[in-house]
Structure 1
Amino acid sequence: MRIALYQPDIPGNTGAILRLAACLDLTVDLIEPAGFDLSDRNLKRAGMDYIERAVLNRHASWEAFEAWRRGEGRRLLLFSTTADTAYTDFSYADSDILLFGRESAGAPEAVHSAADARLLIPMKEGARSLNLAMSAAMAAGEAIRQVR
């Protein structure tokens, strides 16, 4: 199972997700461009010493990522505030990629269209969104619970 980040904006979130992935034995796919330099100290602070243990694959663009994913035959699950299916009502597979959009803008329509499923983390009415790292942790926890 993998976590993919579409052009992330906030280094602290990416660092926390790398730490999560290292601890849960997941791979992170970072779809560039990122909104920060990967040597950012906030990224390193959030990831602590776990960043060195994390498996990170960088993709130069959405098109490069999509070509790789399709070649691998992996299912793409996009987490979105506009989705209809709750993430807890979905059946995960070990080869799935859990994709999260940019903190500032989500994912564009081309990414939505490419997804095999769009999943929602239900929230209280009036709440806009959860922190990206929290969302990734919730999604990964549920997916792992189901497949492992």
Structure 2
Amino acid sequence: MLNIVLLEPEIPANTGNIGRTCVAAGARLHLIEPMGFQINEKQVKRAGLDYWDKLDYTIYDSYPDFLEKNPGAKIYMATTKAKHIYSDVSFEEDCYIMFGKESAGIPEEILVENEETTIRIPMYGEIRSLNLGNSVAIVLYEALRQQGFPELNPMGHLHHSHWKDGTV
């Protein structure tokens, strides 16, 4: 199972959206405090729709607490400052993909300690960053694509019509 890690997230709607994405992708969510909101805030639940109760998530007191409770974890650090492009990495099925807080990202001292596992999403021009929820979805679904989308539904279904080949 893939693991998404949010280091000190600040915006409740982003975290709710990411929680919903994790449920849809079959991924586990790890939240590292301090957070800029309470996990039971309405905005978190609203963005996660009715999926929040299906979410497999853990909250940690701090980054050291996260490391202590996940010894030996392979952690990719998503940052605009990285040398490696996310799609050039071969994601392991049980790896952790960490994203920093919306206003500042992952602290540089943590990035320097993990230089070889830093990854970035290429962007045009001088754009500072993408929305956190979008970034998580981009990298998470690349990792799933590399693994053949394990246990995900390969085909959608129409509700009121049929495809030209007769399938629903």
TM over 0.5: yes
Which amino acid in 1 is paired with 2:96? I
- Larger Rg computed on CA atoms: 2
The DSSP-based 3-state class of the residue aligned with 1:119 is strand
Question: Structure 1: which 5+ residue stretches go unaligned?
Answer: none
Hey, what does 2:9 align to over in structure 1? 8
CA distance in 1, matches of 2:28, 2:46: 19
What does residue 120 of structure 1 align with?
A: 120
Q: Which residue in the other structure is 2:162 paired with?
A: none
Report the residue type matching 1:128 in the other structure.
R
State the partner residue of 2:142: 142
AA aligned to 1:93 is E
Aligned residues: 146
TM-score (norm 1): 0.94
**Identity score, percent:** 36
Match of 2:30? 29
Q: 1:7 to 1:93 in 2, by over 3 A?
A: same
Gaps of 5+ in 2: 149-168
Deviations 1:36-85 (A, max 9, x none): 1111111111001111101011111111001122x2x2200000000011
Note the C-alpha offset of 1:109: 2.5
Normalised by the length of structure 2, the TM-score is 0.84
Q: Distance in 1 between matches of 2:77 and 2:5?
A: 9
Q: Which structure has more helix as a fraction of its residues? A: 1
Determine the C-alpha separation between the residues in 1 that align with 2:20 and 2:144. 16
Q: Deviations over 1:8-37 (max 9, x none)?
A: 000000000000011111000001110111
- Deviant stretches of 4+, over 4 Å: none
Q: Secondary structure at the match of 1:98?
A: strand
Question: Displacement, 1:114?
Answer: 4.0
RMSD: 1.1
1:145 counterpart SS class: helix
Higher relative contact order (CA 8 A, sep 6+): 1
- The separation in 1 between residues aligned to 2:99 and 2:37, in whole angstroms, is 17
* Deviation at residue 104 of structure 1 after TM alignment: 0.8
Give the letter aligned to residue 91 of structure 1.
Answer: S
- Report which stretch shifted further, 85-94 or 113-122: 113-122
Matched with 2:160 is none
Whole-angstrom CA distance in 2 between matches of 1:60 and 1:49? 26
Alignment of 1:1-148 (within 5 A): 1-69=2-70, 71=71, 73-115=72-114, 117-148=117-148
What is the distance in 1 between the residues matched to 2:66 and 2:16? Answer: 20
Deviations 1:75-104 (A, max 9, x none): 000000000111011111011101000001
Q: Distance in 2 between matches of 1:138 and 1:129?
A: 13
